[in-house]
Amino acid sequence: MACPPDRDGRSGRAALPYWAVAWAGGLAIGRYLRELPEAVTGRRVFDVASGSGLCAIASMRAGAAVATGADIDDFAGAAIELNARANGHRVGVVRRDVLDEEPPDVDIILAGDCWYDAHLARRMQRWLHQARDRGIDVLIGDPGRRFLPADQLVELASYDVRTTTELENLDLKHGRVYSLRPAGESWKRFCHWEAPTKEAVVEVFEKYEIPYEAIHEVRRFDPATGEMEPATIDVATLHPA
């Protein structure tokens, strides 16, 4: 989500307003919708952590029936409205943190550049899973940041995109577009232990909020053969009472 502008305590300069710049993931989603407008044509679109409104506006240009941008920053809300108007479209604006609410009644959610912070990534991941489980399509855009849950995603497209070095370490990035894996498929290859223990398995699955019903088998990785073998852990004992 866009961060409100504040002061840089070290230099006294105003910090860069994140909502004023197109991030790599949002640019990738924009390219994807230009190439595959049928992803949003005639559909209700919700752009979470919208920032400048780029993804919401791109969806309207691709033929969305209606688009809404959500952001916690009031400046971002104003930017969404102004940018939409400058592009000849109207985009609704939600000025609050929606991640503690139920997912909206829409057809597709766009989530660009939401994986730069561990806490935000966990909250976003949980919320997007709730949306998916309700039948809402999800498109994620990101250049591959540290907290992106890659094992839960299916890559749909990759683009070379240019952004600012004020936000990214390189001006030319590979922006990628993903969908969420169907429920129950995300964790099949999540962790490979050489010597798994019940405690280690439980710790990882609780940390990443993996549903226990998705655990069908625990395997160990044999570095000598490079093969996965059944581990001597009874899956039934992993489930909470």
User: Cα separation of 73 and 157, whole Å?
Assistant: 29
User: Cα separation of 18 and 102, whole Å?
Assistant: 26
Question: Are 153 and 39 contained in the same domain?
Answer: yes
pLDDT of 166 reads: 52
Question: Are 57 and 26 contained in the same domain?
Answer: yes
Question: Are 137 and 68 contained in the same domain?
Answer: yes
Is residue 22, in this structure, part of any structural domain at all?
yes
Question: Are 55 and 169 contained in the same domain?
Answer: yes
Is residue 186, in this structure, part of any structural domain at all?
no
User: Cα separation of 149 and 179, whole Å?
Assistant: 11
Range(s) of the domain holding residue 80: 18-180
Confidence of residue 199 (pLDDT cuts 50, 70, 90): confident
Residue range 3-30, pLDDT digits in tens = 433 333 334 444 567 788 888 999 999 9
Overall number of domains in the chain: 2
Question: Are 50 and 123 contained in the same domain?
Answer: yes
Question: Are 214 and 136 contained in the same domain?
Answer: no
pLDDT at 187 over 50: no
> Of all residues in the chain, what percent carry a pLDDT higher than 90?
54
Q: Domain with 99 in it: what CATH number?
A: 3.40.50.150
Instruction: Quickly tell me which residue has 């919401």 as its tokens.
Output: 56
Residue 192 tokens, joined? 């490979």
Question: Are 141 and 231 contained in the same domain?
Answer: no
